[in-house]
Amino acid sequence: MDSKNYKVKDIASMAGVSVGTVDRVLHNRGDVSLKSRQKVEEVLTRINYRPNLLVSSIGVKRSITVAIVLPSYGEGEYWQQIEQGIHRALYDYSKIRTATKIFYYNQFDLYSCKEAYQQALDFECDAMIIGPTFRDETVRLSRTLDERCTPYIFVDTLIPQCNQLAFFGPDSRTLGYIEAKLLANAIPDDKDIAILHAVRSGNESSLQTVVRKEGFFEYFDTMARRNRFLYANYYNEDIRRSWEEFDRLFADGNNIGGAVLFNSRSYIFASYLEHRNITDVKVIGCGVTDRNAEYLKKGYLSFLLSERPDQQGYLSIKYILEHILYGQHERIVKYTPIDILIRENIDFQR
């Protein structure tokens, strides 16, 4: 049932209690008998009630503190868009006194992640939003939060071993599968495909990348194609070394027709193609960042997949506030849409 048309007086009538009782249950204040609370909660479950924070937060006295752990970013990059969604939600729900502190880490450095996670644990908070990269470190963080009974939400990457309150982000396996399907339809099966892997300090791959690769090869495993897969590393802060790897890919004997990257650094390879004046390689990437969009328009990227990062950030704040203020305890996994962008429609996305 749709809860948007139900008012407090409607819920009270359906539960057979007073309007005041419903109000106390919704806002977790005042004494309510167990019997009356059960009646109200049964109705709320039946109508799938979710409070309108813009209205029902008026008069809320308590303050909520949220710790946020995200990869650091440059102007126009993916994680900036997630943070912008967080700030937009904080603005929309500014009637609720919410304090936030953001802890940044280098997503290509395991040890930077460890340090940021520890700083976040040392910070006293009511809830935490986490943009994870490294699986093992995130599992350890989540276990400590579980012990403290601190709710936490993941954005961008789902860690299956954890007990997060909610997840907002793409289905990574499906995203990789889509990348494979787009590439297979863009190049003939006698062309080589370059699989480009980001090197991270600490010798641990991003879980998101691992799952996206699984989805990518799941598609090709079902297809009778002759494409040969070639592999190369790239380094986020060492362009010279990255280009040496790319030069090796295009050595004699290789016939590169397509390439795929599983994070938002597609522009690193695209800039190489531009510099070498290579125009016949179809490249599939992720993340509508400023630099990726630039190379999509130039034609050095063929497709970009958008994971709606601003929506991820917005929903994470909204759900935490609903949970803390109104005691909504159900765990959810909310996959955001995956948009396929080309040169002709990129400006409508941004």
Average pLDDT, the chain: 90
What's the pLDDT at 52?
Answer: 66
The candidate with the shortest Cα–Cα distance to 259, out of 288, 232, 221, is 232
The label of the residue with tokens 């609903």 reads: 322
pLDDT score at 233: 92
Tokens of 107: 């997503």
The Cα–Cα gap between 293 and 305 comes to 11
Asked if residue 140 lies in contact with residue 308, where contact means CB atoms within 8 angstroms, the answer is no
SS3 of residue 128 by DSSP: strand
Say if residues 290 and 78 touch (Cβ distance below 8 Å): no
In angstroms, rounded to a whole number, what is the distance separating the alpha carbons of residues 195 and 249?
10
Per-residue pLDDT, averaged over 183-189, amounts to 96
pLDDT at 60: 57
**Residue range 75-111, pLDDT digits in tens:** 999 999 999 999 999 999 988 899 999 999 999 999 9
pTM: 0.83
346 closest CA partner among 298, 291, 288, 299? 288
Distances (CA, A) of 124 to 54, 77, 147, 164, 287: 26, 29, 14, 18, 33
Residue 2 clears pLDDT 50, i.e. is over it: no
What is the structure's pLDDT at 56? Answer: 55
The percentage of residues in the chain with a pLDDT greater than 70, rounded to a whole number, is 92
Which one-letter DSSP state was computed for residue 11? H
The one-letter code for the residue type at 203 is N
Query: What is the mean pLDDT of the segment spanning 146-172?
Result: 95
CB atoms within 10 A of CB 141: 25
Query: 56: which DSSP letter?
Result: H
Q: If you search the block for the tokens 């299956």, which residue do you land on?
A: 160
**Residue among 296, 275, 294, 276 nearest 284 (CA):** 296
- Report the alpha-carbon distance of residue 21 to residue 15 in Å, rounded: 10
Q: Are 300 and 342 in contact (CB under 8 A)?
A: no
User: Alpha helix locations (H) across the chain?
Assistant: 8-15, 19-27, 34-46, 53-56, 78-92, 110-122, 135-148, 172-186, 207-221, 239-249, 266-275, 290-298, 309-326, 346-349
Q: Model confidence over 263-306: pLDDT tens digits?
A: 999 999 999 999 999 999 999 999 999 999 999 999 999 999 99
Q: How many CB atoms lie within 10 A of CB 335?
A: 16
Q: For position 1, what pLDDT does the model report?
A: 43
Share of the chain above pLDDT 90, in %: 69
Report CA dihedral (295, 78, 307, 224) to the nearest 10 degrees.
50
Tokens of 324: 């803390």
